[in-house]
């Protein structure tokens, strides 16, 4: 499965930990929306889309099955985030 597109949907400036909301397309066939770019504990990472449970906890709706793909996805999304903030669309 190849990442064929990454769209930075929204960026957030300021002190909060959430920095962006991102959509990723795989194989030009499947879109995954609402991946969040977070900055906390002096590093950037991604949080997958989730749903709030009745008990107040959250559960991922979709997630990578293995660490290697999670790392590939995270690196690609964070790279796209930095490109977007360094070269904002006019």
Q: What is the pLDDT of residues 16-54, one digit of tens each?
A: 999 999 999 999 999 999 999 999 999 999 999 999 999
Q: Is the pLDDT of residue 87 over 60?
A: yes
Report how far apart, in Å, the C-alpha atoms of 73 and of each of 20, 25, 36, 55, 87 are. Answer: 15, 11, 12, 30, 21
One of 2.60.40.420, 3.30.1120.40, 3.40.50.720, 1.10.10.10 is the CATH number of 3-86, namely: 3.30.1120.40
């Amino acid at each position: 499965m190849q990442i064929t597109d990454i769209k930075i949907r929204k960026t957030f400036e300021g002190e909060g930990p959430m920095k962006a909301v991102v959509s990723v397309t795989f194989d030009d066939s499947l879109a995954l929306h609402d991946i969040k770019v977070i900055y906390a504990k002096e590093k950037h990472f991604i949080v997958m889309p989730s749903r709030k449970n009745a008990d107040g906890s959250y559960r991922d709706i979709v997630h990578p099955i293995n660490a290697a793909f999670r790392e590939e996805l995270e690196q690609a999304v964070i790279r796209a985030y930095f490109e977007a903030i360094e070269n904002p669309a006019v």
